[in-house]
């Protein structure tokens, strides 16, 4: 049987939940989130380190403490995952992580099992190209290419071929996490290098508290206005705080 490796809200309980989308072009929409475990990057400010920062990981996270893999991930057959999704009676699905595109064969099987009545969004760091099998089943790509302040090496955080491919895909939106005003210069350079469409670029303040988000929004919103880029907040942080399953 085809299986997915999922993150957990509690040991043994997969992180599949119904909530309002907090970020990006679909912010505010009721959605079912399916959070997968595992990532090919190591962002030091990542707000879901329990999906990848397991004991023995050689990367760095500002939280310091690593996570037990057995307690923070679980394997489920796609039929079980599909049944849990269907129980919410919501047709908008967000496949997130971690990096969900590391599990594309199983995701393609899940999407095919769910059928055409579902709107499928994928949240990805943009370093892994879509396979043909999954691409035809996806309606929206919420990509978050990482900047220098993520702590990842250039060779890890930027896949030129994948980013160029996504730039020509009308389903793709490019959300950049911004920690300081100068980060916008890097966004502008990436947009120029890979021909990212300006009307599909969103800037989002980095932060896991409403206070931090408000402080950065004060200078980030005018910066977006000046460059013709979209601004996105982190609605779920304001509503629920930095918690799993929200």
pLDDT tens for residues 16-69? 999 999 999 999 999 999 999 999 999 999 999 999 999 999 999 999 999 999
Residue 229 included in any domain: no
Q: How far apart (Å, rounded) are the C-alpha atoms in residues 124 and 50? A: 17
| Amino acid 45: pLDDT | 97
> What does the pLDDT average to over 88-95?
97
Of 114, 123, 118, the C-alpha closest to 36 is 123
Q: Look at residue 151 and tell me if it is in a domain.
A: yes
pLDDT above 80 for 1: no
Give the count of domains, the chain: 1
Q: What angle do CA 107, 8, 91 make, to 5 degrees?
A: 45
Q: Measured over all CA atoms, what is the biggest interatomic distance in the chain, rounded to whole angstroms? A: 51
Average pLDDT over residues 163-188: 98
pLDDT grade for 139, boundaries at 50, 70 and 90: very high
Confidence of residue 71 (pLDDT cuts 50, 70, 90): very high
- pLDDT tens sequence across 104-113: 999 999 999 9
Question: Does residue 86 fall inside a structural domain?
Answer: yes
- Distance between CA atoms of 91 and 26, rounded to whole angstroms? 14
Residues whose CB falls within 8 Å of the CB of residue 65, separated by 6 or more in sequence, listed in order: none
Is 45 inside a domain boundary?
Answer: yes
Residue 144 lies in a domain: yes
Mean pLDDT of 203-222: 98
Return the residue matching tokens 């916008």. Answer: 184
pLDDT given for residue 88 in this prediction: 97
| Distance in angstroms (rounded) separating the CA atoms of residues 229 and 227 | 5
For residue 98, pLDDT over 80 is answered with yes
pLDDT > 70: percent of the chain: 100
SS3 label, residue 13: strand
Please state the φ and ψ torsions of residue 53, each to the nearest 5 degrees: -85, 70
CATH of residue 142's domain is: 3.20.20.70
Residue 135 lies in a domain: yes
Does 242 fall in a domain? no
Q: Is residue 213 part of a domain?
A: no
Question: 80 lies in which domain range?
Answer: 3-177
């Amino acid at each position: 049987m085809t299986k997915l490796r999922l993150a957990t809200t509690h040991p043994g309980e997969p992180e599949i939940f119904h909530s309002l989308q907090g970020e990006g072009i679909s912010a505010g929409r009721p959605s079912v989130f399916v959070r997968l475990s595992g990532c090919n990057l190591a962002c030091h400010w990542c707000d879901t380190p329990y999906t990848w920062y397991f004991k023995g990981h050689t990367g760095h996270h500002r939280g310091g403490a690593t996570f037990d893999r057995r307690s923070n991930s679980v394997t489920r057959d796609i039929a079980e995952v599909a049944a849990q999704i269907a129980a919410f009676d919501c047709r908008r699905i967000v496949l997130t992580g971690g990096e969900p595109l590391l599990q594309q064969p199983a995701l393609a099987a899940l999407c095919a099992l769910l059928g055409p009545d579902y709107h499928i969004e994928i949240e990805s760091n943009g370093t892994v190209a879509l396979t043909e099998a999954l691409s035809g089943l996806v309606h929206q790509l919420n990509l978050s290419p990482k900047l220098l302040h993520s702590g990842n090496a250039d060779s890890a955080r930027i896949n030129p071929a994948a980013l160029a491919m996504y730039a020509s895909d009308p389903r793709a939106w490019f959300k950049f996490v911004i920690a300081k005003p100068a980060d916008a210069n890097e966004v502008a350079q990436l947009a120029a290098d890979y021909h990212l469409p300006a009307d599909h670029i969103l800037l989002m303040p980095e932060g896991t508290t409403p206070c931090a988000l408000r402080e950065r929004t004060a200078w980030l919103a005018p910066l977006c206005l000046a460059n013709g880029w979209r601004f996105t907040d982190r609605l779920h942080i304001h509503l629920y705080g930095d918690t799993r399953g929200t």
